[in-house]
Structures are given as structure tokens and as C-alpha cells.
């Protein structure tokens, strides 16, 4: 059973093709070009080099957010268009869930962080001691200081000795996190720091098998907070 997974929730562009539990091919790019330039050529290369067509796919998967508002819209529009054209179902995976899935069978408190701009991060806290990540709280947008406070609280509550950070929002606040978390801080290896289309494909396979499919016409990205345009519109209406 083949799944084509697409990720565009952050500056990373990713495409992967998964056949059951076997990863056939993955492309990953985190270098300057926009998703509108990279995604379709990446999709084309992945399918051609694996000698597959859209007819061979069981489903298409997409990262649903949170993340970059523009990146999410590009990725979701691409996935929806491909599903409508091919007649294939669409499966979504939360970006933070996919990031947490980069880490397996760890006793640490795993904390993916995405850059939300405006001095905030998108985050969630996970138990990854089993095969699949389990959310301990709801996903949220908060300041780095609020994140640290909650991370310390949950690490104590669940008896986690270390707090493992991953995601692109680690780098802008690296010095702060190092000082605030001290010896409790762990940082993921470079190849685990960013969302991977392969992780999205693996989680999407489980959702496909459970029949958890999306409605193409009502589906929207999971932004968590209002966009700048929506925020300004709301203030103007007050």
C-alpha cells in the first residue's frame, strides 16, 4: 500500500513515498527556495524514480500544521489538487506529531518547537516511550519563557529527567533555552531536528488503515492562532 507524503509546514520542503513499512524514497530541502518552486518537481522525481504513478497510490498525506501560514496553504492546495485530479483520498498529520515521531522509545520529555514568529513558538509535549508519540497537553502558541515553565512542570509531573528539544524554533532561542533548562536540556541530532515527510507518511499509513480520511472541501490548515490579516481584520471590526 503506497502513500505519497508532502510536507511544507516549515521552511523545509519534503516528499516521501512509503510502501507499507518500507520507505522507498524521500526528498528533503531546507535551502532558500520557496515551496511553490520545489514541491511539484520533488513529487515528480519521487514518483518517477520509484516507477510509480498516482494510480498506484492508496492515498496522499499532508502535514496539516501548525507552521508557516503560507507554507501550509501551498502544501494543502497542492495535496488537494492532486487528490481531486487522481481521485485518491487525503490523510493529514499534525506537524508537531510528526516531529515528535522522529524520536522513538525515549524516556525524555520530547518537545517539538516551531517558529511562530512574534517572539512565540508553536509547541506540544510528548511521551514517546512507546512506538507512537502521545500528547500530554494540547498544542499551543506561547512565548519561550512560558514554554520553559511548562516544560519544567511536565518533566517533574511525569518524572522525566531530561527535556529534549527539536524543531526550527530551537535555534532563535538557543542561548535562552540552554541557560533556562541547564542540565535538563537535550537537543536532537541534526537529522532529527526538522519535520520529515517519511514520518508523516508513517503516521498517515496508520490513519489510512483506521479509515481516518479528510473531506477535501471542508479541510483547512491547523494554524492554532489567527493570521496577521485575520488579526488586523478583527481589530478593525472592534
Tell me the pLDDT tens digit for each residue of 20-50.
Answer: 999 999 999 998 788 988 999 999 999 999 9
Domains and CATH numbers, the chain: 2-95+195-237 (3.30.420.40), 103-187 (3.30.420.40)
Q: What is the pLDDT of residue 237?
A: 43
Low-confidence ranges of the chain (pLDDT < 50): 233, 235-238
Cβ-contact 74, 56 below 8 angstroms: no
Q: What is the pLDDT of residue 236?
A: 43
Q: What is the pLDDT of residue 33?
A: 80
Q: What is the pLDDT of residue 228?
A: 53
Q: Quote the CA–CA distance of 27 and 49 in Å, as a whole number.
A: 11
Q: What is the pLDDT of residue 121?
A: 97
Q: Quote the CA–CA distance of 24 and 162 in Å, as a whole number.
A: 34
Q: What is the pLDDT of residue 150?
A: 98
Sign of CA dihedral 232, 171, 121, 135: positive
Cβ neighbours around 158 below 10 Å, total:
13
Closest CA to 39 of 60, 13, 12, 3: 13
Q: What is the pLDDT of residue 152?
A: 97
Q: What is the pLDDT of residue 87?
A: 97
Amino acid at each position: 500500500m503506497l502513500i505519497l507524503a508532502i510536507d511544507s509546514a516549515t521552511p523545509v520542503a519534503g516528499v516521501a513515498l512509503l510502501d507499507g513499512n518500507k520507505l522507498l524514497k524521500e526528498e528533503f530541502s531546507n535551502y532558500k527556495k520557496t515551496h511553490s518552486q520545489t514541491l511539484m518537481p520533488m513529487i515528480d522525481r519521487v514518483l518517477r524514480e520509484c516507477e510509480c504513478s498516482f494510480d498506484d497510490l492508496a492515498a496522499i498525506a499532508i502535514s496539516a500544521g501548525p507552521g508557516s501560514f503560507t507554507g501550509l496553504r501551498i502544501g494543502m492546495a497542492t495535496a488537494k489538487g492532486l487528490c481531486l485530479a487522481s481521485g485518491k483520498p487525503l490523510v493529514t498529520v499534525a506537524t508537531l506529531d510528526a516531529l515528535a515521531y522522529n524520536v522513538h522509545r525515549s524516556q525524555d520529555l520530547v518537545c517539538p518547537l516551531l517558529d511562530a514568529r512574534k517572539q512565540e513558538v508553536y509547541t506540544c509535549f510528548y511521551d514517546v516511550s512507546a512506538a507512537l508519540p502521545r500528547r500530554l497537553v494540547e498544542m499551543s502558541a506561547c512565548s519561550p519563557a512560558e514554554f520553559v515553565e511548562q516544560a519544567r512542570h511536565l518533566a517533574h509531573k511525569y518524572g522525566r529527567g531530561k527535556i529534549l528539544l527539536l524543531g526550527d524554533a530551537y535555534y532563535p532561542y538557543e542561548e535562552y533555552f540552554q541557560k533556562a533548562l541547564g542540565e535538563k536540556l537535550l537537543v536532537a541530532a541534526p537529522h532529527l531536528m526538522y519535520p520529515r515527510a517519511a514520518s508523516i507518511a508513517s503516521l498517515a499509513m496508520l490513519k489510512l488503515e483506521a479509515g481516518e480520511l479528510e473531506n477535501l472541501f471542508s479541510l483547512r490548515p491547523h494554524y492554532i492562532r489567527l493570521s496577521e490579516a485575520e488579526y488586523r481584520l478583527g481589530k478593525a471590526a472592534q
